[in-house]
């Protein structure tokens, strides 16, 4: 069995092993990481050989850590990343390059239709009718998108939302409320087979699925990094946040919103939670909480999106695509039956 795991912001970890009578045998660790002393590699191999093939990641990481000699230096990887690579090999996980990717960057649609498309396209990928897909969203109206489990009345100030023209909608993934101001954000969704993140914890999968966009931002001169659980950040402030939903069809929906030119003062009037977070941190101006991409790059929103798509293509290969007429019809029906209903919006009052 063979497994690979690219550590977000780090190096590639590669493992090869066999399973004999439920036990890991003939295990070998490799990769482009740095490890001192050399003898530590053999000690790691020896520690993993003999472990049960049903060992969880924590057990494997503990065995690797326990085998390290005093003063060992691991650069670009950790015992936990070795464990993830092993679990991915045992689960026969796939890699990015195992798939033919499609990129969708269609024109603007309503917030509710965006959310319905997320559910439809993820389902289509899970059921094998669509290739794994990256979709860039376009907006021509503003909205507050609350998480699946958030309380509507606790998160959104209806008077503030109405004053500034923000629709209020609820998505199928968890996480916090996002203020989607038209022309001021960059949002994308990934629809991927579950096999791509096999063997990873939820936390590991977040960073893994956004590693390409971190690389794209870094190529623009932003010192971007991933902050667990789901934030993209830089030394100058938070850039964006991610959310995920695992579907029973065998797909993962992973979507991210990054601020391009956010009006922080409006955020505090539209989102109730924004006021509390700022107060807790003793921050007088919300503009200090979410540092826009425009101020860090000096580039247009379109130029940043172009760099993102070029980076994705260079790393994984992809061809341009579009939402099909059948997919659009399914999404429009889902808007009527679900996303535009008061029952869905107020499912958590």
pLDDT in tens, 309-328: 999 999 999 999 999 999 99
Q: Per-residue confidence of the chain (349 residues) as pLDDT tens digits?
A: 999 999 988 999 999 999 999 999 999 999 999 999 999 999 999 999 999 999 999 999 999 999 999 999 999 999 999 999 999 999 999 999 999 999 999 999 999 999 999 999 999 999 999 999 999 999 899 999 999 999 999 999 999 999 999 999 999 999 999 999 999 999 999 999 999 999 998 889 999 999 999 999 999 999 999 999 899 999 988 899 999 999 998 999 999 999 998 888 888 899 986 555 544 443 444 444 456 799 999 999 999 999 999 999 999 999 999 999 999 999 999 999 999 999 999 999 9
- Do 294 and 157 sit in the same domain of this protein? yes
> End of a domain among 47, 70, 90?
90
Whole-angstrom distance, CA of residue 161 vs CA of residue 148? 19
Range list of H helices, 68-168: 79-90, 111-126, 152-155, 158-163
> End of a domain among 69, 90, 111?
90
Cα-trace Rg, the chain: 22
| Contact criterion met (CB below 8 Å) for 4 and 33 | no
- Do 149 and 25 sit in the same domain of this protein? no
State in Å, rounded, how far the first CA of the chain is from the last one.
49
Phi, psi of 190 (to 5 degrees): -115, 135
Domain containing 134 equals 96-345
Task: Name the 3-class secondary structure at 231.
Answer: strand
Extract the tokens encoding 151. 């309380």
Torsion of CA 151, 154, 158, 161, to 10 degrees: -90
- Do 75 and 100 sit in the same domain of this protein? no
- Do 68 and 186 sit in the same domain of this protein? no
> End of a domain among 57, 90, 123?
90
| DSSP string computed for 20-82 | ETTEEEEEEEEES-EEESTHHHHHHHHHHTT-BTT--HHHHHHHHHHHSPTT-EEES--HHHH
pLDDT at 9: 85
Extract the tokens encoding 81. 């990343």
| Contact criterion met (CB below 8 Å) for 92 and 197 | no
- Do 189 and 260 sit in the same domain of this protein? yes
Domain with 72 in it: what CATH number? 3.30.390.50
pLDDT at 91: 92
pLDDT at 87: 96
What does each C-alpha distance from 315 to 14, 143, 213, 223 come to in angstroms? 18, 32, 11, 20
Among the listed residues 3, 86, 80, 5, the one whose alpha carbon sits nearest the alpha carbon of residue 50? 86
Whole-angstrom distance, CA of residue 205 vs CA of residue 48? 23
pLDDT at 249: 87
- Do 173 and 79 sit in the same domain of this protein? no
- Do 197 and 82 sit in the same domain of this protein? no
Task: Name the 3-class secondary structure at 202.
Answer: helix
pLDDT at 284: 45
Domain with 211 in it: what CATH number? 3.30.930.10
- Do 23 and 138 sit in the same domain of this protein? no
- Sequence-distant (6+) residues with CB within 8 A of 141 are 108, 110, 111, 165, 167, 182
Whole-angstrom distance, CA of residue 262 vs CA of residue 6? 32
- Do 78 and 219 sit in the same domain of this protein? no
Task: HSE, CB side, 13 Å, CA atoms: give it for residue 151.
Answer: 5
Task: HSE, CB side, 13 Å, CA atoms: give it for residue 271.
Answer: 25
- Do 47 and 154 sit in the same domain of this protein? no
pLDDT digits (tens, 9 = 90+) for 85-95: 999 999 999 99
pTM score: 0.90
| Contact criterion met (CB below 8 Å) for 265 and 284 | no
- Do 181 and 312 sit in the same domain of this protein? yes
pLDDT at 282: 39
Structural domains counted in the chain: 2
- Do 199 and 61 sit in the same domain of this protein? no
The DSSP letter of residue 336 is I
Among the listed residues 24, 30, 31, the one whose alpha carbon sits nearest the alpha carbon of residue 47? 24
């Amino acid at each position: 069995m063979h497994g690979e795991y690219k550590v977000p912001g780090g190096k590639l970890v590669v493992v090869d092993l066999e399973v004999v009578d439920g036990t890991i045998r003939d295990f070998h660790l490799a990769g482009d990481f740095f490890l001192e002393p050399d003898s530590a590699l053999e000690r790691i191999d020896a520690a993993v050989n003999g472990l049960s093939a049903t060992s969880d990641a924590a057990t494997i990481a503990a065995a690797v850590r326990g085998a390290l000699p005093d003063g060992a230096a691991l650069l670009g990887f950790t015992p936990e990343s070795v464990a993830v690579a092993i679990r991915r090999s045992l689960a026969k996980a796939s890699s990015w390059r195992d798939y033919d990717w499609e990129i969708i960057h269609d024109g603007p649609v309503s917030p509710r239709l965006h959310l319905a498309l997320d559910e439809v396209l993820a389902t289509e990928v899970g059921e094998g009718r669509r290739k794994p897909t990256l979709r860039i969203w376009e907006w021509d109206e503003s909205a507050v998108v609350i998480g699946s489990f958030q309380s509507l009345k606790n998160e959104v100030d209806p008077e503030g939302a109405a004053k500034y023209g923000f629709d209020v909608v609820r998505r199928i993934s968890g996480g916090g409320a996002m203020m989607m101001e038209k022309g001021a954000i960059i949002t994308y969704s990934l629809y991927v087979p579950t096999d791509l993140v096999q063997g990873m914890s939820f936390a590991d999968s977040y960073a893994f699925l956004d590693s390409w966009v971190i690389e794209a931002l870094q190529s623009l001169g932003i010192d971007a990094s991933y902050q667990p659980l789901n934030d993209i950040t830089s030394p100058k402030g938070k850039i964006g946040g991610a959310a995920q939903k695992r579907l029973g069809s065998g797909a993962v929906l992973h979507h991210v919103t990054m601020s391009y030119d956010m009006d922080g003062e409006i955020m505090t009037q539209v989102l109730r939670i924004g006021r509390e977070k700022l107060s807790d941190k003793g921050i007088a101006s919300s503009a200090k909480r979410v540092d826009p991409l425009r101020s860090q790059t000096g580039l247009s929103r379109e130029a940043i999106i172009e760099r993102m798509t070029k980076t994705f293509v260079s790393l994984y290969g992809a061809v341009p695509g579009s939402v099909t007429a059948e997919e659009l019809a399914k999404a429009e029906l889902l808007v009527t039956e679900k996303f535009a209903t008061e029952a869905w919006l107020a499912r958590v009052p």
